[in-house]
A and B are shown apart, each in its own frame.
Chain A
């Protein structure tokens, strides 16, 4: 009885040994990928090639009804990931400035921001400004603190923003000598 058990154990051991040998003899190949890295993308907006503080784009004096003008600004995504470009007109301040005799509204605040119209364009396709590139048209006062998305700006892309301004003919003498001041903020946000 003891003998039989011992023989069985021996047999099982031998089989196990043989199986082990068998496994070791299968084909095998190993490759190593070392140094896997995650690096964060970059999102860097350049406005006409510059960072903060940007130059003053508009310093226009002697504006009279019917006058208009325009300013084109290049936005560049100098980073490695695409984003959405946005414009933000903020800190609109109206003052009366000088009050000549014919002015019809001499009470603060000034009235120029109520009437001065801005038209903001974004050349999303980079093929020049077309009708469908018009993003928003409104008076300066109504644009105050409105964050307006312009469109996408891919990594490495440069796209133009155009800001047209106009003081409509119908304004009249309310705005004489009045002053409106505001900030223009451009931002690029991860898409």
Chain B
């Protein structure tokens, strides 16, 4: 009982002291100034795509002379900051869909001069993507378009060229960027079919050589709009656009020159690929 009392008294004294300290603090001088309404607003980066609705394209049941025509996507930066616009092409399947008798003969055709593989037929996948050309060989550019082309880059080893088109004119199969009110591209990216060669070991030809490739347009400012054009074709007896196509139909580069191949090698083949547009923040 006596101890409890002492404890209570102690607590009471401590309480009084604490109260005193509290009061003391509040009575110290103080001056406060306030800046109110400081605001940070995050930017938005938003790409709007109109035009073609297909971003996954399957090419099947086609024959030499096939022309997909231009797919056209209009891309608009509807965000608040500039972004880096690019497009990536990915082949997601490349199928034989069975091999019939004429295709088998073509697949067994000896192929290539010092080629990377012994036969025209690929051992594990269809061949359509090798011959389906997303671009046009410089020798096959529509002659009417040539006066309007300014070449920026051309690499015959890697098999591509880039040019700026100054007028709305069909180059004959190339892919690229252009104003959204044009029906054909203005800045052209083109890659032509290059067959197996010692240097490229069969990996750099046709649409197949575009697999996983990203083409950068550059900076797309807020409110700006640009179109991407994409077209694939097979050489054949028909004309592709205005371009007179090779009468020998499918052909390939064998490391030394172009040579004709048995068109049956692509019978029944199909290829599916995706087109992905990306607008990225510029650091």
A→B interface (CB under 8 Å): 41-47, 50-66, 79, 81, 83, 91, 97-98, 100-103, 112, 116, 140, 165, 167, 175-190
Contact = CB atoms under 8 A, between A and B. Distances in A.
A63 B40 contact: yes
B33 A102 contact: no
Interface in B34-51: 34-48
A45 B31 contact: yes
Nearest to A183: B36
6 contacts: A66-B283, A100-B44, A101-B48, A102-B47, A177-B44, A178-B41
Contacts of A116: 40
Contacts of B4: none
Nearest to A186: B33
A83 B31 CA distance: 10
Interface-centre pick from A51, A55, A62, A140 (highest chain B CB count, 10 A): A62
Given A63-B42, A64-B81, A177-B44, A54 B33 contact: yes
Interface in B109-155: none
Contacts of B78: 100
Chain B binding surface SS class: strand
A79 B30 CA distance: 11
B104 to A, nearest CB: 49
Given A64-B45, A176-B43, A190 B30 contact: yes
Nearest to A140: B40
A54 B34 contact: yes
Contact of A187 (B30, B38, B283): B30
A-B residue pairs, 8 tightest by C-beta: A54-B35, A100-B46, A62-B43, A43-B29, A187-B32, A190-B29, A190-B28, A183-B36
Nearest to B48: A101
A96 B281 CA distance: 20
A171 to B, nearest CB: 8
B42 A52 contact: no
Interface in B79-120: 79-81
Interface string B11-42: 00000000000000000111111111111111
B64 to A, nearest CB: 42
